[in-house]
């Protein structure tokens, strides 16, 4: 479904075409809350104009400005609409944008997304023993990096990649969601460090250094390992503890690689790298090479999304991988077709 409001959005906060202002209750019926976060509440809702199909609706209360809708909200809508124009198969679809005036100083913004009832975290929890299998892991990883590569080509850093923000359809299609923290970039940036869930944060984020697209590839590496293990790779309790756990695995980097940050290299114990097989026992040598390139401390030397897609790990024909992946899934318990009422699409 594409509405006139969304297809005509041009990024201007004062033009009525940017968002529909009519009463959203006439078009959508809220069914249940499926997520709460710092950036708003997400509802499961029925699209009353489209046969009652389910959608996910992100509701945000925004303080008004003298000029109308604040530019931060306009930028988020413009970002989402910019992505939607390409209809990338691995990016969650934005279907509609609506807003209503709550008070003289507050606006309620509604972003309506396609509804997908399960995230990667739930998918892995439901996966029966002995696990996903090599073809399914390769399929999901390729889809994940296809989505990330699309973002990076469009000069967008997601900055919050984690299993809870990766959706899986009943057909096994992976879609990236929750761009509440995404920003377009034009150069290396020193941005807030509170962006990615602790376990998926890149070292440069934990050290509060400069960063850009490589932070997403570090997160992809953590998720890649989780596809094998069905549990997070590094489970730190604080930024420092997370760094310690990372260095215990990959080793303390040479001092020459240490960024110009307030926390000195000497704060950490010198430890050599350990074999990644210790952390991901089922990994094969090509997957291990890819994981090592993703979990590279120096973000200037970390593999890019486009390089990942050309890695030897994906040398097999993708159609063969996905055919084998589908057969493997159909022969196992149908763990990927259930619903979960608390799965957020966007926060």
pLDDT at 82: 77
Give the model confidence (pLDDT) of 13-33 as tens digits. 333 334 454 455 678 899 999
Hey, do 16-114 and 120-331 end up sharing a CATH topology, with the first three levels equal?
Answer: no
Indicate if 160 belongs to the active site: yes
Angle at 91 between CA 87 and CA 93, to 5 degrees: 60
The answer to whether residue 335 scores a pLDDT higher than 60 is: no
List the domain boundaries for the chain: 16-114, 120-331
Give the model confidence (pLDDT) of 285-329 as tens digits. 999 999 999 999 999 999 999 999 999 999 876 666 666 666 655
* Sign of the CA dihedral running 269, 275, 276, 282: negative
Read off the pLDDT of each residue in 184-196 and give the average, rounded to a whole number.
47
Give the model confidence (pLDDT) of 203-229 as tens digits. 999 998 887 899 999 999 999 999 999
Q: Does domain 16-114 fall into CATH 3.40.50.300?
A: no
* Contact criterion met (CB below 8 Å) for 167 and 120: yes
Give the model confidence (pLDDT) of 41-99 as tens digits. 888 999 998 888 999 988 877 776 666 666 666 766 777 777 888 889 999 988 888 87
β-bridge pairing 40-47 and 53-63: antiparallel
* Contact criterion met (CB below 8 Å) for 346 and 34: no
Kindly report the CATH class assigned to 120-331. Answer: mainly alpha
CA atoms within 13 A of residue 154's CA, in its CB half-sphere: 20
Nearest to 216 by CA among 196, 192, 238: 196
Tokens (6 digits) for 282:
């089922």
Q: Is 217 exposed, middle or buried (0-12, 13-18, 19+ CB in 10 A)?
A: buried
Tokens (6 digits) for 214:
């490589």
Nearest to 117 by CA among 106, 129, 130, 126: 126
The whole-chain average pLDDT of the chain stands at: 80
**Which of 47, 139, 149, 160 is the catalytic position?**
160
Sequence-separated (6 or more) residues with CB below 8 Å from residue 172:
136, 139, 140, 325, 326, 329, 336
pLDDT at 184: 54
């Amino acid at each position: 479904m594409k509405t006139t409001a969304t297809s005509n959005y041009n990024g201007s906060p004062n033009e009525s075409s940017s968002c529909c202002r009519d009463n959203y209750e006439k078009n959508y019926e809220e069914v249940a809350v499926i997520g709460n976060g710092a950036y708003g509440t997400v509802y499961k809702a029925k699209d009353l104009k489209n046969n009652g199909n389910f959608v996910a609706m992100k509701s945000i209360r925004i303080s008004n400005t003298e000029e109308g809708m604040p530019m931060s909200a306009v930028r988020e809508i413009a970002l989402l609409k910019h992505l939607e124009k390409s209809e990338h198969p691995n990016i969650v679809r934005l279907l509609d944008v609506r807003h209503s005036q709550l008070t003289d100083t507050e606006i309620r913004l509604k972003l309506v997304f396609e509804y997908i009832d399960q995230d990667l975290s739930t998918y892995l929890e439901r996966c029966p023993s002995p696990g996903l299998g090599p073809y399914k892991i390769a399929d999901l990883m390729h889809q994940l990096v296809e989505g990330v590569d699309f973002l990076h080509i469009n000069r967008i850093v997601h900055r919050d990649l984690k299993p809870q923000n990766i959706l899986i359809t009943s057909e096994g299609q992976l879609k990236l969601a929750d761009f509440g923290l995404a920003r377009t970039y034009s150069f290396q940036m020193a941005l807030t460090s509170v962006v990615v869930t602790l376990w998926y944060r890149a070292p440069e984020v934990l050290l509060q250094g400069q960063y850009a697209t490589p932070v997403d590839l570090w997160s992809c590496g953590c998720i890649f390992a989780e596809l094998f293990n069905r549990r997070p790779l590094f489970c730190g309790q604080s930024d420092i503890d997370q760094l310690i756990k990372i260095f215990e695995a990959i080793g303390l980097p040479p001092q020459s690689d240490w960024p110009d940050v307030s926390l000195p290299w000497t704060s950490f114990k010198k430890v050599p790298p350990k074999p990644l097989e210790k952390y991901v026992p089922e990994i094969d040598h090509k997957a291990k090479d890819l994981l090592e390139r993703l979990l590279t401390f120096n973000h200037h030397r970390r593999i890019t999304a486009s390089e990942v897609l050309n890695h030897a790990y994906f040398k097999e024909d993708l159609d063969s991988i996905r055919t084998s992946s589908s057969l493997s899934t159909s022969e196992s318990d149908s763990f990927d077709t259930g619903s979960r009422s608390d799965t957020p699409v966007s926060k």
